[in-house]
Structure formats: structure tokens, C-alpha cells
Amino acid sequence: MLVFEDGRTTGMVSGGCLETDLAERAAAVLREGTAQTIVYDMRSPDDIVWGLGLGCDGEIRVLLEALDAQTVAPWVAFAVGCRERRGYAALATVFDGPDPVHIGRRCWVDDRGNHGATTGGDELETSMMHAAREALTAGRSGNSTWDTQEGSYAGLVELVPPRVQLYVFGAGADAGPIVEQAAALDWRVVVLDHREPYAGVDRFAAANEVRHVDYSSLETSALEIDERTAILLVTHHFLHDRTLLERLIEAPSGYLGVLGPRRRFERLLEELSTAGVEPSRAARERLHGPVGLNIGSETPQEIALSALAEIQAVLSGRDGGPLRRARQPLHDWPG
């Protein structure tokens, strides 16, 4: 969450519960320029004493720090650059410890071995860098504790993954809601169609890119497909879907879906099998047809919501069911 000097904010920390209080505290941090950690302990029914009385039955620790409006912090530039090149980064940040001067201290590393730190060369940095590299290997964020001769420091190790990337094949009218809703999620969206008049940027203003392509000669290597990539086939043309499915079925995407009814999808697979194309086990696991979660979708907007919700669930390793029936924590966070 960013809080500006004039009181404007962007982003959220708690879904609306703490933002007003944080904005007031942030103003003091901006004036003084000293980072501080705020702890909201809501595990007691008496949490009303400090004015919020949220009753959320948990603890939230928030680091407030001042950023120079004229200079992009090196760790911000590092993380953004890594994310844009579709790489992974991990940042380790000190939240608490015996010496307040270290609060807000950071180190960072990416999947290419590039690394940096706000200060360097001591015992604390060595421990933080080790934790950041472990987060890259494990593929998840988490809290961490770093022991030094002067005492223990507590911090956050945050994994920064690439943006979700969505390739939409087919530029018909129903592709519009898919593109708009995916863009609202800050996904990178690329629309591809074999019809030049349909592949116009003006038709998909929310897309990052619109391409005119020949499906039959499509080179999948040019698409930069990875595990954070989802592919939707919405051509509504059986032969086009067959051609695209044959070319994309073994691509290392996190999700591949074909819009349309189940019988049509099964026929596509039967024709591919007849032609000698048998998807691997990994390919079958990421292949989806019909597309979407069962939420009673009828309109193009509802179908887009259903499809994107399924993609989000698949890429997050969730089943997409009701939260009230979930047997795992709401957030994927170590205990």
C-alpha cells in the first residue's frame, strides 16, 4: 500500500479494516523518515481498547517506511525488472530486532543469481540472503528469524513471481469481457486472431498486445510460455481449435482451456488421437474443457468470470470450491 504526502492512497493491506489508521501513522513516518513496525493484535476480545475493535482473531504486523519520491528504491527497480522479464525474485526485509536502525533493511536475489542489499557485508545480511535464496527454491513467501551476535531479527521473505500471462486465441465479441476482466486483475493479456480486421488494437484497448497470426504456422516458441501462462482457445471454430490444440497441447503453460461444450472437447481429443497426437500426463493435467467453474454462467461477462476464476484457482493450486468447505488456510502461508 502506498500513502502519499497529500493523503492519497493506492493498494490495500487488510481489505479496508486498517487503512485509515495506517494512513494516519504513515503521515508521521513521512515527516520523520524513520521506518517503524506497527502491530495490530486482534486475538483478544478486548482489542477494542486501541480503537478498531475488528475481532478478526489474528495478528497483523505492518512495516511503514518512507520512500524518496524522486528516486526509485533499488529493491523496487530490481523486483519490477525481474517481474517484467518473467523471472522470479525474492526480497528479505527486517521488521523487528534489537537495533531499530536495521528496521526496513533489505536484500534481494533473483533466479539468475543477481543480488543486492541496502547495506552490506555483515552477519545479518548473510542470513537474510540465505533466506531469500531458500524462498526462491521453495517458491513461496514466509516469515523468518535471523540470529546475530546482538540478538534475533524478525523479517519477511517475499517471493515476487511474474505477472500471470493470458493468451486469448480468437478475437470474437465474447473475447472482450475476458480481456477486460483479466486486465483488471493486472494480468498481461495478448489477443491473437487469424483475421486481420479482428486483430485490431482499437477492439481490445485493455489488452497489452493484439496480434494477427496464422494458426497453421504458429510457432509456440515465440509466445514465451511458462508455468505462469494461461491459454484460452475461444475461436468457436472446430478446425482452428484442433490446429491450435495440436500445436499448444505440450506447451509448458500452467493452464490450457478450450471454450465450448464437453462433447465438442472430447471430439477434438479423439481427432487428435486418430492423428497420432496423444497428450502426455502433464499436458492432460493442465488441459481444461469445458472451461470455467460451475457458477451458472450464461452471458459473455459471466462466462469470462467463470473462466478466469478457474485459471486463478489452477495457477494457485486450489480447487475453486466454496471457502466455507475449504480444509486448508485461506492464504498460502507457512504456519
pLDDT score recorded for residue 82:
94
Q: Which fold has domain 165-315?
A: Rossmann fold (3.40.50)
Going from the first residue of the chain to its last (335 residues), give the mean pLDDT of each consecutive group of 10, the final group possibly shorter.
89 82 90 88 60 64 87 90 93 94 93 91 93 94 93 95 96 95 96 91 92 91 92 96 95 96 95 94 94 95 98 93 80 63
Domain locations along the chain: 20-66, 74-160, 165-315
pLDDT score recorded for residue 119:
83
pLDDT score recorded for residue 52:
54
Burial of 304 (0-12, 13-18, 19+ CB in 10 A): buried
Report the b/e string of 240-255 with b at 16+ CB within 10 A: bbbbbbebbbebebbb
* Alpha-helical runs (H) found in 231-280: 238-248, 262-274
pLDDT score recorded for residue 49:
44
